[in-house]
Amino acid sequence: MNSSLHKLSIKVIAFMVVIFSSLTLYAQQTSRTVADFDKGWKFHLGNVASAEKKTANDKSWRTLNLPHDWSVEGEFNKDNPATQEGGALPGGIGWYRKTFTVPAASKNKLVYIDFDGVYQHSDVWINGHHLGFRPNGYISFRYELTPYLNFGGTNVIAVKVNNQEQPNSRWYSGSGIYRNVWLVTTNKTAIDHWGTYVTTPKVNADSATVAIDVKVKNPAHAHYRTQVLIYDAENKIVSTGGGVPSAQQWADTTATLSNKLKVVKPNLWLVNRPYLYKVVTQVFIGTNKVDEYTTPLGIRYFEFDADKGFLLNGEPLKILGVCDHHDLGSLGAAVNTRALERQLQILKAMGCNGIRTSHNPPAPELLDLCDKMGFIVMDEAFDMWKMQKNKYDYHLYWDEWHKRDLEDQLLRDRNHPSVFIWSIGNEIVEQFSKTDTSGRNIARELAGIVHNLDTTRPITAANNEPQTHNNLIASGALDLIGYNYHHQDYESFHKRYPGKKFIATETNSALQTRGHYDMPSDSIRRWPPSWDTKDFKGNPDNTVSAYDNVSAYWGSTHEETWKVMKKFDFLSGMYIWTGFDYLGEPTPYKWPSRSSYFGIIDLAGFPKDVYYMYQSEWTNKPVLHLFPHWNWEPGKTVDVWAYYNNADEVELFLNGKSMGVKNKTGDDLHVMWRLKFEPGTIKAVSRKNGTVVLTKEIHTAGAPAKIELIADRKIINAGSKDLSFITVRILDKAGNIVPNADNRVKFAVAGGSLVSVDNGDPVSHDSFRADNRKAFNGLALAIIKGRETPGDITFTATAEGLKPATITLKTK
């Protein structure tokens, strides 16, 4: 090659490098990045002086990934200040630090950190600069980092979490950065935080009008324009819009642009077919796209009618919902999308179509899942206002923070199609007073905040004294009159509130221990019998019968409330207390109980028997559920129940001999036989028009002989966030589950790791983080995650005297 040609080649290569570098920089400049910021944090439990400083020494601190709940890692103890009402687990102060770099190429951009939730009293610093304080443990918040960053060098974010002052919650709260954290980078001209508002003001079978408000930050006063694209579920564009701001909007540092688009022949969002579109909003300066932001869209219309109840897309629909607290059983408060999805799948299979976020703003992932899976969400804001329920609760911060916190919740959640109702409070103390009516003004203020940011959804509050003198109801601020309990007053609702609309915000408070049965089953018990009962005894082992015949004094059994709810159209729906057992609030007991008995499903995710009553009522799938187990003392009188549907009758057999045919009459929801126990087999046969629909058998189990492992999913994603839930069953040699088995099972994992263990026992004080667990009434649970790279996971369970079991999972 001659010298001139060589020089030309060098120039061409250099020119291409410049072009490539420019294209790379252009790509960086035109994209919004939302980076998962959960990995590689340092954690220290306990206060540390000057830990906010960039130069603080954290080398000896524990390294972990978020989300993280340090309380669930602790020991159950009756002396923990949270008490058994708060789960009897420790609180305290914790510090988190993370060292990270931001590329020099981002110097002309804006960088933010988003926290989905920190419990509680969080202070955040970047490179020693204090960014702010948020007392509310359930609210999402953002800080801008840009002015304090060392672009191209190292930076340190420090977070102090203070959950030391307790009790501050009536249930288990968890402690720490227990939700996800994100690092967000945008151009200077970009859509603001939670900066879109999408509504569907007009919907019919032929078309839907989609209104989009877009708030754009533009500190440089650039001449930008917007483009709006609506994509269907197949990722096809079905509508477009956009516009050019006015000269005044360009001159403003923030401006809101409004668009109206039309979708022809829309697929409507339904609970059994939750069709999702997405709205993609783009910002251009000239021909350069400088931002893009995606908003979920479910096209639906609904109303609450005083006489017809709830209607979705013009069709009557009873809301069949549950209330749930935010903990995920043995995982504690640390949010995990798969764990949430599993809970919703179990509820969906029961026929549930509604979730109340008791009693706080939920994790964003829960609402994403409810959008996709078809749940009607009551999104709740507060458990107390100015008047306290606990000494150290949110009432201390109400005056300064309630407006900001409610606004942040509304802005974050108002685009979710699953959100149908705003609840501004649960059993608020201000509802009761006949002399201090300040609660009326607060209710009106909160309703005004809601209406200022969203006019498309009704407002309610959960009232446990829903009389006409109730200050929240008397305020006129509530669109829906929310009843907590009082099922005996449902039928006369319109006599008390003519022309008003009803929602059962919280029902039942029925109590069960999975797999435990007290005879007789046909007498209803209120445990405890009244609010002022002292030294309530119950059962010596702190169990509650799993027949549906026990409730708290303020509530009802499941059947008592459902019998009323199903009769009247104007009763728009119900949210049962609760879907799942949760840590804390172990009514009717105190210590040594440490978790609730209210759930239709236990803490480990195993359904109690009443689950199948709802399944028989709320679904069309054939159901025949027979209980209890068939291991009793010879001659003992045992009540045998069956829940069933899609059949006229059920016949029960004991060791081949008919015990009679039963059918539901009147408002019956189950059938029952009273038998003298003899070992062998009970068999139920349901029939319709003489044809067998289903058959179920329960055998007297022998001694524990072997372990069975059942994974909810055998293929999971590699990494720390996807989980497999493995049910551990103790069987006799014939393969029957042993209903009273309590063998301690040890676990070993190769190719992955054991995240936590459980068994659903509300009295167990074993650590959730152990490598073993006793079975509880024949069952235990192990939760597994994979490594960062794909491969096989081998999980083995062993117990003394039992045949071991092994299961292989795959990560992809």
Q: C-alpha 381: how far from its chain's center?
A: 14
- Give yes or no for a contact between 669 and 612, defined as CB atoms under 8 angstroms apart: no
Residue keyed to tokens 């990560």:
811
* CB-side neighbour CA atoms (13 Å) of 310: 24
- Structure token pair of residue 329: 């059983």
- Give yes or no for a contact between 731 and 705, defined as CB atoms under 8 angstroms apart: yes
Q: How far apart are alpha carbons 657 and 677 in whole angstroms?
A: 13
Q: Is 134 exposed, middle or buried (0-12, 13-18, 19+ CB in 10 A)?
A: buried
What confidence score (pLDDT) does residue 797 get?
98
Catalytic residue among 73, 427, 585, 651: 427
Output DSSP code: residue 634: T
Contacts of 445 (CB under 8 A, 6+ apart): none
Contacts of 70 (CB under 8 A, 6+ apart): 43, 45, 92, 94, 175, 176
- Structure token pair of residue 338: 């798969």
pTM above 0.85, yes or no: yes
Which residue, among 810, 779, 780, has the nearest Cα to 795 in the 3D structure? Answer: 810
- Give yes or no for a contact between 151 and 131, defined as CB atoms under 8 angstroms apart: no
Instruction: Determine whether 427 is an active site residue.
Output: yes
- Give yes or no for a contact between 338 and 304, defined as CB atoms under 8 angstroms apart: no
Contacts of 448 (CB under 8 A, 6+ apart): none
Q: How far apart are alpha carbons 229 and 517 in whole angstroms?
A: 58
Contacts of 246 (CB under 8 A, 6+ apart): none
- Profile the chain (812 residues) by mean pLDDT over runs of 10 residues: 42 36 37 95 98 98 98 97 97 98 95 98 98 98 98 98 97 98 97 98 97 96 97 98 93 95 98 98 96 98 98 98 98 98 98 98 98 98 97 98 98 98 98 89 98 98 95 97 98 97 98 98 96 92 98 98 98 98 98 98 98 98 98 97 98 98 97 98 98 98 98 93 97 98 98 97 98 98 95 97 98 94
Output DSSP code: residue 266: P
Q: What's the start-to-end Cα distance of the chain, in Å?
A: 50
Q: How far apart are alpha carbons 156 and 101 in whole angstroms?
A: 9
Catalytic residue among 73, 430, 506, 585: 506
How many CB atoms within 10 Å of residue 441? 13
Contacts of 148 (CB under 8 A, 6+ apart): 126, 127, 129
Which residue, among 251, 196, 248, 253, has the nearest Cα to 226 in the 3D structure? Answer: 196
In sequence order, which ranges of 215-258 are alpha helices (DSSP H)?
247-251
Contacts of 197 (CB under 8 A, 6+ apart): 212, 213, 414, 415, 454
* Residues paired with 282 in a beta bridge: 227, 292
Contacts of 616 (CB under 8 A, 6+ apart): 623, 625, 643, 644, 645, 669
Q: How far apart are alpha carbons 699 and 681 in whole angstroms?
A: 4
Q: How far apart are alpha carbons 368 and 418 in whole angstroms?
A: 8
Q: How far apart are alpha carbons 162 and 85 in whole angstroms?
A: 19
- Structure token pair of residue 358: 């008791």
- H or E segment and range at residue 407: helix 398-413
- Separation in Å, CA 108 to CA 103, 105, 125, 217, 270: 11, 7, 22, 15, 44
Beta-sheet strands, E only, within 691-738: 691-699, 706-711, 715-716, 724-731
Burial code (b: 16+ CB inside 10 Å, e: under 16) for 449-469 equals bbeeebeebbbbbbbbbbeee
Output DSSP code: residue 285: E
Quickly list DSSP for 313-339. Answer: TTEE--EEEEEE-S--GGGTT---HHH
Q: Label residue 676 left, alpha or beta by phi (over 0 means left) and psi (-120 to 50 means alpha).
A: beta
Q: How far apart are alpha carbons 760 and 779 in whole angstroms?
A: 8
Residue keyed to tokens 């251009």:
284
Residue keyed to tokens 């002086």:
49
CA angle centred on 206, ends 202 and 209, rounded to 5°: 30
- Give yes or no for a contact between 706 and 727, defined as CB atoms under 8 angstroms apart: no
- H or E segment and range at residue 365: helix 364-373
Max alpha carbon distance in the chain (Å)? 108
Is-cis flag, bond preceding 67, omega within 30?
A: yes
- Structure token pair of residue 22: 């420019």
CA angle centred on 477, ends 476 and 482, rounded to 5°: 95
- H or E segment and range at residue 366: helix 364-373
Q: How far apart are alpha carbons 37 and 119 in whole angstroms?
A: 18
How many CB atoms within 10 Å of residue 670? 22
Is-cis flag, bond preceding 167, omega within 30?
A: yes
Burial code (b: 16+ CB inside 10 Å, e: under 16) for 549-560 equals bbbbeebbbbbb
What confidence score (pLDDT) does residue 30 get?
53
Instruction: Determine whether 617 is an active site residue.
Output: no
Q: How far apart are alpha carbons 360 and 118 in whole angstroms?
A: 13
Burial code (b: 16+ CB inside 10 Å, e: under 16) for 706-737 equals bbebebbeeebebebbbbbbbbbbbbbeeebb
